[in-house]
């Protein structure tokens, strides 16, 4: 289980297409979607937008069997399958998506899209437009000249891609964490498109607590002298600030039970000799967390993390100023799957949205995950709700 968790945290996945290998894994490829220009929620125009996307299963003749998967903060469009049969790791929700699985690719055409300002901008399997992209006006990376983007902008890029494929409705939209924000935004902003919505480890808005917590992810980068107000692309990047941010994200995404178990495997002790004898030394559990965060930092971009943080901080379903107003337009049947041990997007957030929808007469359901993996329950143990998800997608 520990090895699986660490691999998932590395977020080095990605896939698209259909077909099966001898080990029954889907095979897929990354495709590119291009928009000549895109206008953000804030009214700014971004030229030459590119995002990657993947798909699994076949689009039927009526084009009404589409399930959109929206990814989490540090993830990308590699939701299931493999690029090559020899790949060691399949997409992050491979336990959920595939032939005969809860999201059955024998029935559904499953599609996923890399977000704008994707965190893993340096990953060769990710296609995204953001601060690290070249500004055609200057011929240099945008840096902080890149416009602020919102969760709604991520959704609108996805909608443009779907429309380019002749798709005009979604059988369902499903996503974990930041992906749940996108799923809820789809249902709130384009209610006639969405028949079913599943929000895993979810939040329908960034409340005061969440906004303040997210700011802590940004601060280490801003405090790194190499950040240089975002102008680091031709010099040393703020790797230490990015690493510190990733350490914080990783710890908040897990649980005390996981860390204490990891501490036992490292023979952690409060009175370790190194930190006792030298203030510059760190405890074994801190070194473990640092090394794993630093190993991920190379494929990620610090400015992209700041923009993702801001997109999440600005989120309220429907982008209409209040959660109540945003949820009023939802017509979809909804399912919320919070994690009871989640310290990041805590269960009360799902319960609030479910309660508001229930009060206005919507067909809404809630089914908590009860494991001890914290926020990552929604990625690592989603198979615990496979039957619930299958039934939700099957029933009218």
Hey, which residues are catalytic here? 177, 342, 375
Q: How many helices (H) and strands (E) does the chain have?
A: 13, 12
C-alpha to C-alpha distance for 140 and 106, rounded to whole angstroms: 45
- 3-class state of residue 98 by DSSP: strand
C-alpha to C-alpha distance for 328 and 384, rounded to whole angstroms: 30
User: CA of 56: how far to CAs of 83, 107, 204, 242, 366, in Å?
Assistant: 12, 10, 27, 33, 27
Beta strands 31-39 and 45-56 are antiparallel
C-alpha to C-alpha distance for 130 and 209, rounded to whole angstroms: 27
CA torsion 201→345→258→271, rounded to 10°?
A: 170
- Residues 54/29, Cβ–Cβ less than 8 Å: yes
Residues contacting residue 332 through CB under 8 Å, at least 6 positions apart: 187, 191, 194, 195, 196, 197
Residues contacting residue 43 through CB under 8 Å, at least 6 positions apart: none
Token readout for 147 is 């416009």
Q: Residue 326's closest CA among 151, 201, 175, 174?
A: 151
């Amino acid at each position: 289980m520990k090895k699986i968790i660490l691999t998932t945290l590395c977020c080095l996945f990605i896939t698209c297409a259909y077909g099966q290998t001898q080990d029954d894994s889907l095979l897929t490829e990354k495709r590119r979607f291009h928009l000549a220009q895109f206008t953000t929620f804030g009214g700014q125009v971004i030229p030459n937008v590119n995002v990657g996307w993947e798909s699994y299963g076949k689009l039927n003749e009526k084009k009404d069997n589409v399930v959109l998967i929206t990814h989490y903060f540090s993830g990308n469009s590699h939701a299931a399958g493999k690029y090559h049969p020899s790949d060691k790791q399949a997409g992050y929700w491979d336990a959920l998506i595939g032939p005969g699985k809860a999201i059955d690719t024998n029935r559904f055409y499953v599609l996923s899209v890399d977000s704008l300002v994707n965190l893993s901008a340096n990953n060769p399997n990710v296609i995204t437009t953001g601060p690290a992209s070249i500004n055609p006006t200057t011929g240099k990376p945008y840096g902080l000249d890149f416009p602020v983007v919102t969760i709604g902008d991520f959704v609108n890029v996805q909608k443009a891609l779907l429309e380019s494929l002749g798709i005009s409705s979604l059988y369902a939209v499903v996503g974990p964490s930041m992906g749940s924000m996108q799923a809820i935004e789809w249902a709130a902003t384009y209610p006639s498109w969405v028949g079913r919505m599943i929000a895993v480890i979810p939040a329908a808005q960034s409340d005061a607590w969440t906004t303040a917590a997210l700011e802590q992810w940004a601060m280490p980068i801003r405090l790194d002298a190499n950040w240089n107000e975002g102008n680091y692309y031709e010099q040393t990047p703020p790797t230490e600030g990015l690493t510190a941010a990733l350490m914080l994200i990783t710890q908040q995404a897990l649980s005390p039970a996981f860390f204490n178990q990891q501490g036992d495997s490292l023979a952690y002790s409060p009175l370790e000799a190194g930190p006792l004898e030298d203030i510059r030394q760190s405890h074994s559990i801190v070194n473990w967390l640092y090394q794993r965060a630093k190993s991920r930092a190379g494929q990620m971009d610090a400015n992209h993390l700041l923009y993702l943080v801001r997109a999440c901080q600005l989120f309220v379903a429907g982008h209409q100023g209040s959660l109540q107003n945003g949820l009023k337009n939802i017509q979809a049947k909804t399912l919320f799957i919070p994690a009871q041990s989640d310290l990041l997007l805590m269960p009360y957030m799902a319960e609030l949205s479910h309660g508001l929808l229930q009060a206005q007469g919507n067909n809404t359901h809630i089914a908590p995950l009860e494991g001890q993996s914290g926020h990552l329950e929604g990625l690592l143990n989603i198979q615990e709700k496979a039957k619930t998800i299958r039934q939700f997608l099957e029933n009218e």
